[in-house]
């Protein structure tokens, strides 16, 4: 469950708000222990994987799965969503900046034999696409796979069944990854055709890729990432993707 959804659910079940005294500004170097203790008490079951001091005085950035939230040092206030910093170089998303720091190493650690790749004959760029077989925009992207390749874009697919690992789509994705010809199986599934090959017994990477997608903050498919972990967006037409990759 996404953290923002959990927040909403808990708020709807809360009858009374905390009426403690107004918060005082915390020092920039304040220890995060108090804030994290209150966060875990308020939202039991969440897993905090990283805590960093925020550039905003008296605040911390906290990573929960693939999400980042901002919390005051005294643990009273939690902010979900974007935090923008207006730098001399331009507007920077602090959340996206930290997610890229997670995604880059995650992408670098991927093994080629765990991906389904449609390579460009003359490669100029690579993208990593979390995909499902049931989403319309995933199918649209795949129908244009030759156009991306012709523009010099190699497309690497990773599995992200939107309905979860127990969904029918997850089973189809596992069959695709265990097929002798993965490219053919992916194309058949994206065209809503039965798979023409008998899947072999194999160690399907669908579960690990789904978990990686959650760490990356994937909320829908397709989710397109660059080699260094920048999210380009969801579905992008070939010319737009090439432009965003600096190829045009």
Tell me the catalytic residues: 132, 135, 138, 162
Contact 142, 134 (CB under 8 A): no
- Residue 187 in tokens: 């194309």
Contacts of residue 4, Cβ cutoff 8 Å, sequence gap at least 6: 67, 80, 81
Contact 234, 222 (CB under 8 A): yes
Task: Give the span between the Cα atoms of 7 and 45, in whole angstroms.
Answer: 12
- Residue 247 in tokens: 């190829």
The strand pairing partners of 51, in sequence order, are: 62
The DSSP letter of residue 236 is -
């Amino acid at each position: 469950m996404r953290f923002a959804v959990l927040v909403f659910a808990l708020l709807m079940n809360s009858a009374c708000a905390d009426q403690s005294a107004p918060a005082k500004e915390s020092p920039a170097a304040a220890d995060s222990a108090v804030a994290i203790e209150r966060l875990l008490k308020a939202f039991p079951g969440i897993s905090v994987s990283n805590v960093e001091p925020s550039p905003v005085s008296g605040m911390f950035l906290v990573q929960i799965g693939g999400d980042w939230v901002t919390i005051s040092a005294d643990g009273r206030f939690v902010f979900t969503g974007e935090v923008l910093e207006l730098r001399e170089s331009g507007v920077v998303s602090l959340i996206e900046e930290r997610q890229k720091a997670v995604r880059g190493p995650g992408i670098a650690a991927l093994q080629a034999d765990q991906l389904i790749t449609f390579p460009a004959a003359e490669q100029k760029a690579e993208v990593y696409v979390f995909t499902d077989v049931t989403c319309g925009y995933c199918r649209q992207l795949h129908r244009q796979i030759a156009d991306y390749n012709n523009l010099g874009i190699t497309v690497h697919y990773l599995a992200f069944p939107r309905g979860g690992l127990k969904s029918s789509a997850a089973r189809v994705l596992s069959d695709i990854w265990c097929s002798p010809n993965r490219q053919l199986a992916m194309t058949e599934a994206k065209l809503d055709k039965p798979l023409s090959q008998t899947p072999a017994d194999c160690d399907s990477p669908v579960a690990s890729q789904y978990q990686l997608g959650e760490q990356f903050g994937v909320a829908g498919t397709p989710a397109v990432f660059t080699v260094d972990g920048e999210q380009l967006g969801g579905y992008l037409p070939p010319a737009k993707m090439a432009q965003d990759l600096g190829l045009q």
